[in-house]
Structures are given as C-alpha cells and as structure tokens.
Structure 1
C-alpha cells in the first residue's frame, strides 16, 4: 500500500500567493516559490490600502505628511504597515490608488480628500486593487498562450467584474467529439508566391484568386474564400500568402464597457484597411450538438454559436466556453470588421476558419465590432451572441458566391 502512495498527488487548495505569504511569515525558504535566503526579508509593495494625512511639528513650523497603508507582496495582511510618501517609489501603484479613491469620492459627491478614509472607501480601494491583480494575471495567461506579435491587455474601470467564469482562452480550434480535421496532403512549389506563383499557388489550385497584396492586405471582395499556403508548401514562413496563420499582429484591449454591453474589444494601435485582425475561434461541434446546446444557452442567456454552412449545414463553432479574444467583440450596424472564410492546413469546405479583416482604417482606441446580421450574396451561417448585460440574438446570413 505504502509503495503505491509514492506517486500519489493531491491538488493544493492554496494559491501561490497564499503559500508565499505563509513561507515569509514563518521564515521558510522555498525555491519553487522563489523564496531564497537572500530575498526572504525583501519587501515589495503589492498594493496600497489606505491613506491619511498627519500634521507634524518641525521646529517652529507645522508640516503635513502623507502616509499610505501598504500591503507587502508575499506577506499576509496582518503585516501591512503605514509608510510615508517619501518611502514609496511605486509611482504606478500610487496612480492607481488615487484614481480608485477619487472615483469613489466623486461617486459619493465628495469634493475634498479627507484626512483619513472611512472603512467603506478603504474596502472599495482594496477591492479595486485585487481586481486589477486578477485581471493582470488573466492578461499574462492569455499572452503566454500564443506566439503572435500583438499583445492583449485587459481593463475594467467600470465595475468589479473579473475574468469570465467557465471560459477557457484558446488560440486554435478545439475539435469536438466525432469530428476530425484532415490535414492537406500537398502544397505549392512556389519560391515567390506573390510575384511568381506556380500554377496560381494554393489559391489557383482551388481555382480562386490570390487573396493578398505585398502588404498582407486582402484584395478580394468579401464572399470569396481565401486559400493560404500550408505546412506542405515549399515557401517559407515569411511568404506573402501566410497572413491569418501568423495570428494577431496588433495590440488589443479587452475592456469593460460603460453602457451595459459587458466586455468589448478595442485596438491599442492604428489598424490599416483590409488587414487581418483576429480569428473567430471556439469549439467545433456538429449542428445536432449545437441545437442541443442552443436550448440550454437560451435559458442561461449566454450563447456564442457560429454555424458553418459553406457547403453543408454540418458544423458549428461554439465559443461560449472555449474561445479567443473574438469572444468579446460586440455587434454594430456600422462595423469595422468583415468576415472572410480561410483555408490553410484543412481544405474541408465544411470547416473554414473564420477571419476578421478591417473594413476601413481603424484609429487607436477605437472599439472593434462586426455586424451579427451582415448580408452578402451566396453563403450563410448563423451567429447568436449575448451576455449578462445585453442579449443579442441575431441571424447572420452571409451568402458567398461560388
């Protein structure tokens, strides 16, 4: 019996932060937590909890000194200490503290900062600090999953909502039970796919037009499919016909909207017209399974179903519990994103990859949107998206020419 327990593992219910606090409080060194003999007694500000002003007599004059209640990283709250402003070098944390405190004071219609903060304001500031930490951890997690150039940021200046529950961030399709993605067996033999395509490159082999110009901007009209070079092709990773597969190239921000629409997405930099922005990623399921889930989602008020009907109505992308940043993109009747169907390593026309391209030049700070009811000629799929604040139930009919 004892020998069988050698490989037995039990998940720890404490977080790394809690374990770190316990180790520092007890003076225990732990390499796995990064606590060594040299840094066991190091103090780093985790966040600021409260504020007060004291009048101190210096000689014949009186001076006002500011003090902040500091939560030290890796130490329990019982070891929080009051520190004078001159001891604190954490300018970002000071800015966050004043931003949160002033926002709460304004909400209470208080125009001046009191000498000491009451317990309710302190509680609000601490909750905001902890929320910011949670969102930062989520942000780090999402950026750690991909190798794409663009960074993902998260911001909530509106309420106390944290990362969505029961949602797993992924960068590629999650294939459901009974579904297989068949990889392409052949690739192009081009050395310069844009300027010297052999037999029309991958697009030509499928009797379609080459989709991109030399700047990576899509040059075919919405409705026509895009065939990118694949892993069997002779061209390299910098090929002009490899755009969507390189992933997100722009820095984007998931932000909390202030008008009841839940989360949204905005760009942190200017996006050129006709350039790739992101894919719609989720779990690929059958339409029968989508029908079953749809009834459940309707009751819960949280559905993200995207039907793929390029040839046959067989498959659906469900981004309710597995998805990427596109999960948070909101609807607009005047959208700045357009849907294209893309084929790369899988040429099964029943399973296109869904890519969003910019319909126009998009300014830095502008929210990204697409129309859940876009219409074009000859292709159809259905998307129903909603959240706790607003329920969008829309039939998206896109008809692509063959």
Structure 2
C-alpha cells in the first residue's frame, strides 16, 4: 500500500525549545500537521499553502510507523517535545499577490523535505530569520552597488542589466532596535523636535503603531544606508518624534492609570476620582501618601469617644434648638436637605456616636463623607499651577459639602520647623487648627506628604470653596476636622479652589512665616514673594 502525507501550513504551530537558560536558536513545528491520506498519488509530500504547491519525494512507506533512516529520523534532542521538529535554517523568501512565504529546512531532514511556511508559523524563529535577512540584504545590496545606471529622458535614474529576482524579507528585529540603529547613524531626537511634536500631537489619548511601524521600517534602512535625501530624512525624524512622543505618552498614561486605581481603592470610590495630564510629563507626586482621614505623629492622639450626645426624640432638625450645636452654644449648621447655611467662621457641631439619632439625621453631613455620585478629576493645569481638581458630570449647589482637608497632625514646634522649609520652597500645606481663638495653637495639619484630594486643590483670590471647622466624635476644641463647602453654585467641569490667604496670614501673625516690619504702622505685614496665578478679576497678584 502506498501512503501519502499532506502538510498544511495553516495547521503548523511553532514554539521555542527549552527554557530561557537552555534555549536554542532553533524553532519547532507540530507533527500534527502531518496527516495520512489516501487521496493523491503515492510517494509525494504536498504543501498546501495559498497558491504555492511544492512536490517533494517521500521516504515514507507502509511497512513501519517510523523510519531508522537518517532521512526520516526524528531529532534526538531532549529539549524537543515528542510531537515537534526543529528548524535548522531559512533558505529562501518570496512575496507575491498571495502573500509572504519562507522556505524552511528541518533539522535532521534532507532538503527534499523543505517546506514553504507563512510568517505566522515562524513566530519563534528570530535567530534563523535574522541570519537569513542579513545574508539576503547583503546579497541584494551587493548587486545594487555593482550595477551601472543611466539617466532616462525623463531625468530618472535607471539600473542597467537584467531584472533582480531575489527579494529581501522584512527585518525581523524589534522596531525599537531598528530605530536605535538609525539614531546611531543620524543622532538621537533633540528636545526641540519632541517639543514641536508635542504641539502637533497635543492631547491624543492613545497611539496605536500597529502597521505604521512596518511601513517606516523600510525607510529606516534606507536612512541607515545613506540613501535618503535631506527632505526625506527630515520627514522620517518627524515621524520618529511623533512615535516616540506617543510611546512616552502611552507609558505616562499607564502610570497615571495605576495611580488613579490606587487612589480609588483607598477612597473606596467615594468620591470617584479620575486623573489626566495632557500638559507635561508630571506623574504621581513623590513620597505622597493618599489618606482619607487625619494621621498623627507618635506624640499625638485624637480621641474618638465623645463624652456626650443628643437625646433628640422627634428628629434633630425639628429639635435643632436643643440638639448638639445648641449644647455647645452654636447654630444648627445645615438645612433639612443637608446644605450648609451658616457663614464662614461659624463652628459646626455634628451629631456623634453617642447621639440617639440614626444615620438619616441631617446633622451628619461631614461624617457621612463623600458618596459615589461625586466625581472629581485631578488634572494638570496649563497655567503653571501644577495639579488641580475639577468637577465631573455633577454640579454642586451652594452649601454642598465637597471634601475634608486632611493630612498629618503635628505639634507647633514641628510645624515651625517644616514651615521654614516650605517657605524656602515657595509652597505651603500647613493649616493651623486655631479655631479656638487662643494665643498659641497646639496643632497644625500638614498635607504635604499625607493628604487626600484637597492636597491638589489650588488657590484662588475668588474661590468657590470655603473652610469650616467641624467637630464630630472628637470634641477637643483644638482638634476639629477641616471641611470644604461650596460657597457658590459650582457648574460641571469647573476647577475647585479655596483661598490660601488664611493659611499664610495665620502663620505670619504667629511669627512663623516670612515677614517684614512696616515702620509707619508699627505692625507686621506679609512679605509677598510668591506670584499668584489664579487669573481672577480680583487677583491680589501675590500669594505669599
């Protein structure tokens, strides 16, 4: 009985032999692609691959499942799985209307068993493909360099002699390797080229270079070989600048996305925060830790067990004249809808864990915190103010609680030390908890290293947020929470701001900031040296 084998290239699957430590340059093909058939003439191996058919004499016979002949013997290598065969080398390459095909010689099989394979079957043949590519390119370049040329009547340059039939395959090396070789010849991209590209490309969210790099690869090699005109070389560099810019942008966006996911994991998505930077390459602040509430140094403890609570039986709002606020000589701060209705400077006492009211009480606004419907964006500003925060999708009515100003609670001595350092750097995140109107404030909140979304809210001389002191479970007069409320209706997409003036003036009044003495009035005044960039109509021009 005569046996026939059909080798269908579309069924071939290649994989690298061995591990990273023992990998070879050879590649493998599944023996599943060899199938027994009774349909065609005996003694042939036929390759079914698009329009190409390559008949080859077979040594197979019907007397044995395996041959002891060297011609049909399987590779004995222990690194090769039983159902696969090793590639020894790539012998030829053709490209026509049907596509690209490589002629492959199999290890320990004679050349009559060579097969034509499409590139998709040679995914792990990097070494063999590169060896063939370099040899074929050298052969082609040699023919071109040794040829004679004539100028045609149209002024074009034409090579004399017969047509060149050999074809050069694509460079199998990664695109980045080809680009680096180009730069070694023509120099790296300059800062000016990348900046010009940034203006052109702008805020594209993502760049997909699939297909585009393949088209440029041929031109890169012409540039490496010195075959490009100055105009063409300039065009290639502009394309490379765009590719490099978008590669960096994609990597930068990946880093920002990881930071965004981290922040939302910490805040549990309340509020939902997105991060975007279409201005520069700034990423997450170094050594910044996102938190939801105060953290303290080792010598400071914040009590959270209030000594008293209200006994409102018919609802805190209806009993607002006898609720927690009244017990401390303050006004009930919220409307029944939970919006602030007292002016800046008014202390706010919310119901606490000792109170008889439940979570639906309208006097639990700040402690209920931000919810999942609130959406903010930490974004990079284009006016030199660094990071900022803006609203997303939702507008905020006047009196709406927006966020807490949280950070590390430190004592006065440590605040003085850090204050001098921040003054030298031209920034401040120190907020004194001096709402008790005493001469010496014992505690300060530092949001430089530890903070939440308020860390990124910028200053404005005409802000849309105000700061109120709020007491909940901790009733120590020196340790209120700092709550930011909307003092105007804030539309969707608006940047959130508050006035840093209080932060600066409080510290100056205690001799902790950079001050000068006005001899005529005999009182301390702020020595302004930080320009304000808020751009509002009533801008004071200097921040501090």
TM-score, normalising length from structure 2?
Answer: 0.49
* Local SS of the residue matching 1:152: strand
The CA distance in 1 between the partners of 2:282 and 2:353, in whole Å, is: 41
Q: Label 1:226 to 1:107 Cα distance change in 2 as closer, same or farther (>3 A).
A: same
Q: Which moved more, 1:256-265 or 1:298-307?
A: 298-307
Kindly tell me the number of residue pairs found equivalent between the two proteins. Answer: 298
Any idea what the Cα deviations from partners look like across 1:368-396, whole Å, max 9, x if unmatched?
A: 00111259xxxx84499x99x9899857x
The CA distance in 1 between the partners of 2:173 and 2:435, in whole Å, is: 61
Residue among 369, 377, 389 paired with 1:253: 377
Q: Deviation of residue 147 (structure 1)?
A: 4.2
* Local SS of the residue matching 2:303: coil
| 2:273 matches 1:152 | yes
Any idea what the Cα deviations from partners look like across 1:150-185, whole Å, max 9, x if unmatched?
A: 211111010111110010000100112311212312
Larger radius of gyration: 2
| 2:403 matches 1:275 | no
Q: Give 1:362's aligned residue.
A: 490
Residue among 330, 334, 345 paired with 2:473: 345
| 2:409 matches 1:284 | yes
| 2:253 matches 1:128 | no
Q: Deviation of residue 353 (structure 1)?
A: 0.8
Q: Deviation of residue 215 (structure 1)?
A: 1.1
Residue among 478, 499, 509 paired with 1:371: 499
Residue among 426, 439, 443 paired with 1:315: 443
Q: Give 1:87's aligned residue.
A: none
Q: Label 1:195 to 1:351 Cα distance change in 2 as closer, same or farther (>3 A).
A: closer
| 2:300 matches 1:179 | yes
Q: Label 1:348 to 1:271 Cα distance change in 2 as closer, same or farther (>3 A).
A: same
Contact 1:302 1:320 in 2 (8 A): no
The CA distance in 2 between the partners of 1:242 and 1:195, in whole Å, is: 11
Q: Deviation of residue 103 (structure 1)?
A: 6.8
The CA distance in 2 between the partners of 1:381 and 1:193, in whole Å, is: 38
Contact 1:192 1:239 in 2 (8 A): no
Contact 2:350 2:471 in 1 (8 A): yes
Contact 1:148 1:247 in 2 (8 A): no
Residue among 418, 424, 432 paired with 1:293: 418
Q: Give 2:88's aligned residue.
A: none
Structure 2 spans left out of the alignment, 5+ residues: 1-18, 21-94, 99-171, 176-193, 203-208, 217-235, 514-528, 535-540
Contact 1:189 1:198 in 2 (8 A): no
Contact 1:148 1:246 in 2 (8 A): no
* Local SS of the residue matching 1:210: coil
1:78-93 correspondence runs (5 A): none
| 2:230 matches 1:106 | no
Q: Deviation of residue 363 (structure 1)?
A: 0.6
Q: Label 1:101 to 1:200 Cα distance change in 2 as closer, same or farther (>3 A).
A: same
Q: Label 1:146 to 1:105 Cα distance change in 2 as closer, same or farther (>3 A).
A: closer
1:221-260 correspondence runs (5 A): 221-249=343-371, 250-260=374-384
| 2:287 matches 1:166 | yes
The CA distance in 1 between the partners of 2:252 and 2:350, in whole Å, is: 41
Q: Deviation of residue 349 (structure 1)?
A: 1.0
Q: Deviation of residue 102 (structure 1)?
A: 11
1:372-387 correspondence runs (5 A): 372-373=500-501, 381-382=506-507
1:52-91 correspondence runs (5 A): none
* Local SS of the residue matching 2:414: helix
Q: Label 1:172 to 1:119 Cα distance change in 2 as closer, same or farther (>3 A).
A: same
The CA distance in 1 between the partners of 2:196 and 2:315, in whole Å, is: 57
Q: Deviation of residue 57 (structure 1)?
A: 10
* Local SS of the residue matching 2:501: coil
Q: Deviation of residue 296 (structure 1)?
A: 2.3
Q: Deviation of residue 193 (structure 1)?
A: 3.7
| 2:438 matches 1:306 | no
Q: Label 1:146 to 1:231 Cα distance change in 2 as closer, same or farther (>3 A).
A: farther
Higher RCO, 1 or 2 (CA under 8 Å, sep at least 6)? 1
Q: Deviation of residue 352 (structure 1)?
A: 1.2
Q: Label 1:309 to 1:198 Cα distance change in 2 as closer, same or farther (>3 A).
A: closer
Q: Label 1:148 to 1:160 Cα distance change in 2 as closer, same or farther (>3 A).
A: closer
* Local SS of the residue matching 1:340: strand
Contact 2:264 2:270 in 1 (8 A): no
Q: Give 1:29's aligned residue.
A: none
Q: Which moved more, 1:114-123 or 1:201-210?
A: 114-123
The CA distance in 2 between the partners of 1:194 and 1:334, in whole Å, is: 34
* Local SS of the residue matching 1:200: coil
| 2:390 matches 1:266 | yes
* Local SS of the residue matching 1:265: strand
Q: Deviation of residue 200 (structure 1)?
A: 1.5
Q: Deviation of residue 326 (structure 1)?
A: 0.5
